[in-house]
Amino acid sequence: MHPEMEFVLLQINYLDWENEGVESRKCYEVACKHNKPVMVMEPLKGGFLADIPLEAEKLMKDYNPDASVISWALRFVASLDNVFMILTGASSLKQLKENIEDFENFKPLNDEEYEILDKVADIIHSNITVDCTKCKYCLDACTEEINIPKVFDLYNSEKILDPAPWTPIGNAYLNYSKLPGVGIASDCSECGMCVEECPQHIDIPEVMKDVAKTFETEYYGFVDK
C-alpha cells in the first residue's frame, strides 16, 4: 500500500522469528517480496537474549566455546539477506566494543548453527511464562503505577523455580510492594491501556491475575489479598 517507503523497521530475533504475535519471519518476507531494505530492532529482544537458560547456553558453548550468546543473536539477524542496519543497543562502552567486534569478524550462520538456535529457542520458550522484553512502553499507560516489566520479571523467575510457599523471589515482590507510590498486581484495574502499548501483544491484565495469585499470599503477609 505504500511503495514510497524506502525501508522497513522490523523487530527480528531468533526467538521471535516464528512468534505468532510478532511474526518476524512473515514481516521480513513481505519486506523482501517488495524489495524493501530492512532495518532490525530488538535483535537481543530487549536484552532478554543476553541472559538465557544455562541449558541453552551450553549448546552454544559446546559448539563454539569462544562465542558469546550475544554474538549468536547478532549473527542471526546479520545473516539475513536484505538487512542493511541492526540497532543493537549498548549500556556500556565495553558492550559497544564487543558489538563492533562481533560485526567486524562476522560470519553467516551455517546449517548446524541454525539447528542449534532452533533448540535454544525451544529451551527458552519452555522457561518463559510471560514474553516480556522490558521495553517499558506500558509504564506510562498504567493508571495504577504498576512497574509491569519488573513484576513480570519476578513472575518469570518464580515460575522457573520449583513450586514452594515461600521463595526469595516472592520476598523480593513483597519488598517491591512496600515501596512508596507503586502499584502491585492486584491493583490492576483491567483498563487494557497497557495492552495497546505492548509490542508483544501480552494480555497484561489477565497475566496480572496470576501474578497476584502467585505472590500475594499469606506467606508474604498479604493477608487481605
Cell numbers placing 143 = 493508571
All domains of the chain, ordered by start, with CATH? 8-127 (3.20.20.100), 139-220 (no CATH)
* Total residue length of the chain: 225
Report yes or no: 183 and 142 within 8 Å, Cβ to Cβ: yes
DSSP H stretches of helix in 67-147:
69-78, 93-104, 111-127
The alpha carbon dihedral of 67, 69, 70, 71 has a sign of positive
pLDDT at 225: 44
Per-residue model confidence as pLDDT tens for the chain (225 residues) = 889 999 999 999 999 898 776 789 999 999 999 999 999 998 998 777 888 888 999 999 999 999 999 999 999 999 999 999 999 888 899 999 999 999 998 999 999 999 999 999 999 888 788 989 889 999 999 999 999 999 998 898 788 665 677 777 888 899 999 999 999 999 999 999 999 999 989 999 999 999 999 999 988 878 654
d(CA 40, CA 71): 15
d(CA 62, CA 71): 15
Cell numbers placing 10 = 522490523
Q: Which amino acid is at 23?
A: E
Cell numbers placing 216 = 500475594
Report yes or no: 82 and 37 within 8 Å, Cβ to Cβ: yes
Q: What's the chain's Rg over C-alpha atoms?
A: 20
The overall longest dimension of the chain from CA atoms, in Å, is 59
pLDDT at 162: 56
* Other Cβ atoms within 10 Å of 18 Cβ, number: 14
DSSP code of residue 224:
T
pLDDT at 7: 97
Three-state secondary structure of 78-91: HCCCCEEEECCCCC
Report residue 146: phi and psi, to 5°: -85, 130
Global confidence as pTM: 0.69
pLDDT at 219: 81
Strands (E), the chain: 8-11, 38-41, 83-86
pLDDT at 167: 77
